[in-house]
Amino acid sequence: MITAIREVRQAKGLTLADVAARCVPPTTAQTIGRLETGTRTVSVDWLNRIATALGVGASDLVTLPDQSHLAVVARIEADGPTAPERALHVPPPQPAPADVAVQVMVTIGDYRAGDVLWCRRVAPDHFNEGLHRDVLVPGRVGQFAFGRLIRIEEGQLEILPPGPGQRPQAIHNPPWLAVVRQLVRPFD
């Protein structure tokens, strides 16, 4: 357990000795110091005693570490939503250094206005990772092509833009492309 005993004590302008004297029963400044630094385990009893001495709730003295996963509370299966049989967790989205985002401003193809696409940039020797997937490809300065990568041939990419009736675009020797990896869709 990570505590905020020191931060709360200092914010109230109290010394270790002040908090020790306010505990019921009183304790030593050394004990409070050990509890603050984690060299002594903070039990629920100690947490309550120190919280009372500081005039705060016990929950004000506990800090939770950053959550590195999300709890799975339901799974949608063929028979409908069900609770998992055991505790399951999934990692939240974490951007990698090569990740970029694309904002969808108008509904087009499978994408709706407001969607955000998380994409991973790849170098030319990895363009095949985007084959038959949606990609963003830089063109001339400030221009891009977006759509399904349908063919790679000798440095030329063919991109089929989303939406009905679109014609493939040819992009010659782009320095990189970004493969769509995740769709984030708000439900407002």
Omega before residue 93 within 30° of 0, cis: no
**Residue bearing the bigger pLDDT, 170 or 67:** 170
Query: What integer pLDDT is reported at residue 19 of this predicted model?
Result: 95
Same domain, 133 and 179: yes
**Residue bearing the bigger pLDDT, 146 or 57:** 146
Same domain, 114 and 172: yes
Specify the amino acid at residue 100. Answer: V
Flag whether 79 is in a domain: no
173 pLDDT band (50/70/90 cuts)? very high
Flag whether 105 is in a domain: yes
Stretch among 92-101, 105-114, 173-182 having the lowest mean pLDDT: 92-101
1 pLDDT band (50/70/90 cuts)? low
User: Residue 11 sits in a domain of what CATH number?
Assistant: 1.10.260.40
pLDDT at 57 over 80: yes
Same domain, 36 and 110: no
Residues spanned by the domain of 18: 2-63
Same domain, 103 and 180: yes
Same domain, 34 and 103: no
Q: What is the DSSP letter of 174?
A: -
135-157 burial: b if 16+ Cβ within 10 Å, else e: bbbbeeeeebbbbbbeeeeeeeb
Flag whether 78 is in a domain: no
Flag whether 50 is in a domain: yes
Coil, helix or strand at residue 125: helix
Same domain, 109 and 153: yes
Same domain, 51 and 107: no
Flag whether 90 is in a domain: no
The three state secondary structure string of 41-94 is CCCHHHHHHHHHHHCCCHHHHEECCCCCCEECCCEEECCEEECCCCCCEECCCC
Same domain, 8 and 53: yes
Domain termination site, one of 11, 35, 63: 63
Average pLDDT over residues 138-142: 82
Same domain, 119 and 167: yes
Flag whether 75 is in a domain: no
User: Which residue, chain included where needed, has tokens 């300065």?
Assistant: 141
Query: What integer pLDDT is reported at residue 97 of this predicted model?
Result: 86
pLDDT at 127 over 70: yes
**Residue bearing the bigger pLDDT, 67 or 53:** 53
Query: Does residue 74 contact residue 15 with C-beta atoms inside 8 Å?
Result: no
Query: What integer pLDDT is reported at residue 4 of this predicted model?
Result: 86
Q: Say how far apart CA 129 and CA 46 lie, in whole Å.
A: 56
pLDDT tens digits, 58-108: 888 886 656 577 788 888 888 888 888 888 888 777 788 889 999 999 999
Same domain, 105 and 174: yes
Number of structural domains in the chain? 2
Query: What integer pLDDT is reported at residue 24 of this predicted model?
Result: 94
Same domain, 58 and 104: no
Query: In this structure, is the dihedral angle defined by the CA atoms of residues 172, 174, 180 and 186, taken in order, positive or negative?
Result: negative
Domain termination site, one of 18, 36, 63: 63
pLDDT mean across residues, the chain = 89
Query: What integer pLDDT is reported at residue 65 of this predicted model?
Result: 59
pLDDT at 180 over 80: yes
Same domain, 122 and 57: no
